[in-house]
C-alpha cells in the first residue's frame, strides 16, 4: 500500500483536535440495546441506521441491476427473444424507479447518516427517532413497489417518468399501488432531509462556521433543501394521478378538459432538481477524496460552495429542457435553452477546481482515488453530452433517443454510482476498522470502468443514428452497438460481485486502520478511532478552523 512509504505531514483544510471527542469504552448511561432483529428495528444510532441505508441501497442496486440485465439481454440482438414488449416495458420502468429512488438516493442518505455527524462533530443526528422511521419506510415502499410485478396486468410499464395519460387512463391496475409506494418513499426522503438540515444547522462543533464545513456536508445541506422543495411537488402530481385514476377527475385527460402536458411540467419541476439531488452529494464526496490523495487542500473551497448553490438554484429554472419537443412556445423554448446552457458554468468551475487541486499535488492512486478520478473524467463526458442536449434545435434530433440514455447514464453511473463506491472505499476503514482489500478494489475498479464505457459509450452512436429509447426491438443497423452495450452491461454487473466480496471481506478483517486512515485526510471523522465506536463526540470536539 502506497500509504506507508513516505511519512509526510499533510496540509489539511481544517485542523481538528478531538481529545474529548472519542467516546470512552465505559458507556453506561444508555439502556442496554435490544438484541437480535429488534435492535435493528428500533435503533436510533446514526451509524447503525447509516449502515442499514447502505445495505438497503446495495440490495436495490442489485435488483435494479438485474432488471437492467433483462433489458440488455433482450436487446442483445434484433427480434423478440426472451421477453414480450409488455414485460420489457415493466423492466425498463422498474429499473429506473428502483435505481433512482431505491439505490442512489438511499445510498447518499446512508452516507449522510454515517458521515455528517462525524464531520460536523455531532454525537448523532438531530432527530434520531425520526431517522429510524425514515429508514424503515423504505423497505415498506419498495416491497410494495416490487410486489406490483406480481399483480394482474403487471407492474408499472410507462417508464420511470410515468407520463400521463399512458400512466393514468392507460396504466395497469397496479398503478395505484405504485403511487402509494412512491408516496411512502417520498415521505422518507422529506423526513431524512429535515433531519440532515437540523443536524447541520444546529449540531456543529463549537467553532465550526458554515464556511468551515467539509464540502460533503455543504453539498448535502443544499441537497436537503432541494428535497424539501421538490418532493411535495412529486407528491402532488402523483396524487393528481390517483384522482384521475380512481375518482373521475381529469387533471391530465384531454377528453375531460385536462392537460397531459401539465403532467410533464409538474413532473420535471420535481424531476430536474431530483437529478441534482443525485449528483450534488457526489460532488461533496469527490471534493473530499481528491485533496486527500493529492495531499493538497481543495482548490477554491468557497467557489465550490457557491457553484453548488448556483446549480441548485438554476435547477428550478431548467425543467422544460426535458420537453423541447412537446410544442412549447418559442420564447419558452429559448428561455429553457439559455438557462440550461448556463448550468455548464458552475459545473465547469467544479471540474476545474478538482483538476487545479491535482496540479502540483503529490498524488497516489488508492481505490477511492481511482473511482474519484474516473468520476471526474466520465462525469465530464456526461456533462458534454448534456451541453449538446441543451441546444434546443439539436435536441429535436437527440430527444428520446439512446443519446439521452447515454448522457444520463454517464452522469448517473460513473457519476453518482462511482462517487458512492469511492465513498465506500474511502470510509470503509472508518466504518470497519480495516482497509478494503486494495488488489480486489483495483480489480473492481478496472472491470467497472471498462464495463461502464462498453455499455454506455456505444449508446451515443446508436442514439445519433436514430434509435429511440424504450424499445424492445430495433432495426438491423443498430445491432452491433447494442451487442457491445449488452456485453458491457453483463461485465459491469458481474464486476459488482467483486464489490460485495470486498465489503464482506473488509467487515470480517483485513489490514487494521488507524484513526487517521489516510494520511492526507483532514476532516473531523479522522480524529475518532477506526472503527468508529457506536457513540462518538459525546463531548463536542474543539474545532480549529484554518484558512480557506
Partner 1 sequence: MRRKLALMTGAGSLCGVTPALANGWNMPVGVTDVSRDIHSLHMTIFWICVVIGVVVFGVMFYSLLRFRRSRHTDSANFHENTTVEILWTTVPLLILVGMALPATATLRQMYDTSEADLDVMITGQQWRWRYEYLGEDVGFTSSLSTPRAQITGEEERQEHYLLEVDEPLVLPVGRKVRFLMTADDVIHSWWVPELAVKQDTIPGFVNENWVRINEPGIYRGQCAELCGKDHAFMPIVVHAMESDEFDTWLADRKEAAAQEALGVDREWALDELMERGEQVYNSVCASCHQVDGSGSEPAFPALAGNEQLLSDVEFHIDVVLNGVPGTPMAAYRNNMNPVELASVITYERNAWGNETGDAVQPSEIQSRLE
Indicate which single residue of 13, 183, 322, 409 sits in contact with partner 1 (rule: CB under 8 A).
Answer: 13
**Residue 304 lies near partner 1 (rule: CB under 8 A):** no
CB of 122 to partner 1, least distance (A): 26
The span from the CA of 223 to the CA of 217, in Å, is 10
Should residue 130 be labelled a site residue for partner 1 when binding is judged by CB under 8 A? no
Annotation marks residue 124 as catalytic? yes
Q: Does 446 bind partner 1 (CB under 8 A)?
A: no
Q: Is there a catalytic annotation at residue 322?
A: yes
Terminal Cα distance for the chain, rounded: 30
In angstroms, what is the minimal distance from the CB of 377 to partner 1? 6
Residue with cell 452491461: 489
**Residue 350 catalytic?**
yes
289 binds partner 1 (CB under 8 A): no
SS3 2: helix
Contacts with partner 1 in 23-82 (CB under 8 A)?
A: 78-81
Q: Which CB sits closer to partner 1, 38 or 332? A: 332
Contact window for partner 1 (CB under 8 A) among 2-10, 132-140, 508-516, 522-530:
2-10
Nearer to partner 1, 186 or 346 (CB): 346
294 lies in the site for partner 1, by CB under 8 A: yes
Q: How far is the CB of 370 from partner 1 (least distance, A)?
A: 11
Report the residue number, 470 or 535, with the smaller CB distance to partner 1: 470
> 54 or 378: whose CB is closer to partner 1?
378
Q: Who contacts 423 (Cβ-Cβ below 8 Å, separation ≥6)?
A: 111, 285, 289, 368
The answer to whether residue 490 forms part of the interface with partner 1 (CB under 8 A) is no
Contact region with partner 1 (CB under 8 A), list: 178-186, 191-199, 459-467, 495-503: 459-467
Least distance (Å) between residue 76 CB and partner 1: 13
CA distances from 284 to 75, 185, 289 (A): 36, 24, 9
473 binds partner 1 (CB under 8 A): yes
Instruction: Indicate the angle between helix axes 105-120 and 215-246, nearest 10 degrees.
Output: 140
Q: Which residues contact 10 (CB under 8 A, 6 or more apart)?
A: 295, 519, 520, 521, 522
Closest CA to 543 of 12, 58, 2, 67: 12
Site for partner 1 in 160-189 (CB under 8 A): 163, 165-166, 169-170
For cell 480495516, name the residue: 434
**Cβ-count burial of 206 within 10 angstroms (0-12 exposed, 13-18 middle, 19+ buried)?**
exposed
Instruction: Tell me if 475 contacts partner 1 by CB under 8 A.
Output: yes
Number of residues forming the site for partner 1 (CB under 8 A): 101
* φ and ψ of 10, to 5 deg: -105, 135
Is residue 276 part of the annotated active site? The answer reads yes
Residue 4: CB minimum distance to partner 1, A? 12
Q: Quick one: 80 or 201, whose CB is closer to partner 1?
A: 80
Beta bridge partners of 544: 15
Are 156 and 167 in contact by the 8 Å Cβ rule? The answer is yes
Considering only 158, 276, 379, 431, the residue that binds partner 1 (CB under 8 A) is 158
The question of whether 189 is a catalytic residue gets the answer yes
As beta bridge partners, residue 468 has 401
From the candidates 296, 350, 399, 430, give the one annotated as an active-site residue. Answer: 350
Annotated catalytic residue 508: no
- Residue among 249 and 303 whose Cβ is closer to partner 1: 303
SS3 295: coil
Q: Which of 48, 74, 124, 212 is catalytic?
A: 124
| Residue nearer to partner 1 on the CB measure, 150 or 504 | 150
Q: Report the DSSP pairing between strands 542-545 and 14-17.
A: antiparallel
Burial code (b: 16+ CB inside 10 Å, e: under 16) for 130-162 equals: bbbbbbbbbbebbebbbebeeeeebbbbbbbbb
Binding-site string for partner 1 from residue 381 to residue 420, where x marks contact by CB under 8 A and - marks none: x--xx-xx--xxxx-xx-xxx-------------------
Does 365 engage in binding with partner 1 (CB under 8 A)? yes
Site for partner 1 in 79-98 (CB under 8 A): 79-81, 84-86, 89
Catalytic residue among 114, 218, 276, 435: 276
Chain centroid to Cα 126, Å, comes to 23
Cβ-based neighbours of 172, under 8 Å, separated by 6 or more: 148, 151, 153, 154, 155, 156, 157
Residues 242-271: x where in contact with partner 1 by CB under 8 A, - otherwise, as a string = ------------xx--xxxx----------
Binding residue for partner 1, selected from 210, 326, 332, 494, defined by CB under 8 A? 326
Number of Cβ within a 10 Å radius of residue 457:
18
The C-alpha atoms of residue 64 and residue 397 are separated, in whole angstroms, by 29
Q: Cite the active site residues.
A: 95, 124, 160, 188-189, 272, 274, 276, 287, 321-322, 347, 350, 469
Amino acid at each position: 500500500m502506497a500509504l506507508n512509504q513516505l511519512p509526510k505531514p499533510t496540509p489539511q483544510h481544517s485542523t481538528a483536535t478531538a481529545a474529548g471527542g472519542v467516546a470512552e469504552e465505559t458507556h453506561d448511561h444508555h439502556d442496554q440495546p435490544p438484541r437480535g432483529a429488534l435492535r435493528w428495528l428500533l435503533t436510533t444510532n446514526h451509524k447503525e441506521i447509516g449502515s442499514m441505508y447502505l445495505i438497503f441501497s446495495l440490495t436495490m442496486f442489485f435488483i435494479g441491476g438485474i432488471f437492467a440485465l433483462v433489458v440488455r439481454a433482450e436487446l442483445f440482438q434484433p427480434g423478440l427473444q426472451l421477453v414480450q414488449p409488455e414485460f420489457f416495458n415493466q423492466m425498463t420502468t422498474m429499473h429506473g424507479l428502483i435505481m433512482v429512488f431505491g439505490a442512489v438516493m438511499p445510498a447518499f442518505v446512508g452516507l449522510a447518516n454515517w458521515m455528517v455527524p462525524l464531520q460536523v462533530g455531532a454525537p448523532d443526528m438531530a432527530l434520531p427517532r425520526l431517522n429510524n422511521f425514515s429508514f424503515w419506510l423504505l423497505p415498506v415502499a419498495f416491497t410494495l413497489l416490487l410486489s406490483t410485478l406480481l399483480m394482474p396486468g403487471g407492474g408499472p410499464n410507462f417508464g420511470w417518468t410515468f407520463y400521463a395519460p399512458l400512466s393514468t387512463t392507460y396504466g395497469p391496475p397496479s398503478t395505484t399501488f405504485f403511487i402509494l409506494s412512491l408516496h411512502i418513499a417520498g415521505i422518507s426522503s422529506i423526513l431524512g432531509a429535515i433531519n440532515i438540515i437540523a443536524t447541520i444547522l444546529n449540531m456543529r462543533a463549537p467553532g465550526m462556521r458554515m464556511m468551515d464545513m467539509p464540502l460533503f456536508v455543504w453539498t448535502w445541506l443544499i441537497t436537503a433543501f432541494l428535497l424539501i422543495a421538490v418532493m411535495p411537488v412529486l407528491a402532488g402530481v402523483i396524487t393528481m394521478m390517483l384522482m384521475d385514476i380512481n375518482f373521475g377527475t381529469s387533471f391530465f385527460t384531454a377528453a375531460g378538459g385536462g392537460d397531459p402536458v401539465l403532467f410533464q411540467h409538474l413532473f420535471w419541476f420535481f424531476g430536474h432538481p431530483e437529478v441534482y439531488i443525485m449528483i450534488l452529494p457526489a460532488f461533496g464526496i469527490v471534493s473530499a477524496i481528491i485533496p486527500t490523495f493529492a495531499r493538497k487542500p481543495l482548490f477554491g473551497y468557497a467557489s465550490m460552495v457557491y457553484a453548488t448553490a448556483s446549480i441548485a438554484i438554476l435547477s428550478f429554472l431548467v425543467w422544460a429542457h426535458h420537453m423541447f419537443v412537446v410544442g412549447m412556445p418559442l420564447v419558452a423554448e429559448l428561455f429553457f435553452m439559455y438557462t440550461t446552457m448556463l448550468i455548464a458554468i458552475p459545473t465547469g468551475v467544479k471540474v476545474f477546481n478538482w483538476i487545479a487541486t491535482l496540479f502540483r499535488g503529490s498524488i497516489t492512486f488508492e481505490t477511492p482515488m481511482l473511482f474519484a478520478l474516473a468520476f471526474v473524467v466520465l462525469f465530464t463526458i456526461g456533462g458534454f453530452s448534456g451541453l449538446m442536449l441543451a441546444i434546443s434545435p439539436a435536441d429535436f434530433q437527440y430527444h428520446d433517443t439512446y443519446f439521452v440514455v447515454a448522457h444520463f447514464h454517464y452522469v448517473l453511473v460513473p457519476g453518482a454510482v462511482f462517487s458512492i463506491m469511492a465513498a465506500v472505499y474511502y470510509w470503509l476503514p472508518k466504518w470497519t476498522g480495516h482497509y478494503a482489500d486494495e488488489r480486489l478494489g483495483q480489480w473492481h475498479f478496472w472491470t467497472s470502468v471498462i464495463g461502464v464505457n462498453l455499455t454506455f459509450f456505444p449508446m451515443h452512436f446508436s442514439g445519433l443514428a436514430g434509435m429511440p429509447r424504450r424499445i424492445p426491438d430495433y432495426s438491423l443497423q443498430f445491432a452491433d452497438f447494442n451487442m457491445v452495450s449488452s456485453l458491457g452491461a453483463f461485465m459491469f454487473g458481474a464486476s459488482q460481485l467483486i464489490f460485495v466480496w470486498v465489503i464482506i471481506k473488509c467487515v470480517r478483517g483485513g489490514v487494521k486502520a488507524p484513526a487517521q486512515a489516510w494520511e492526507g485526510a483532514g476532516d473531523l471523522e479522522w480524529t475518532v478511532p477506526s472503527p468508529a465506536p457506536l457513540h462518538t463526540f459525546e463531548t463536542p470536539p474543539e474545532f480549529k478552523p484554518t484558512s480557506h
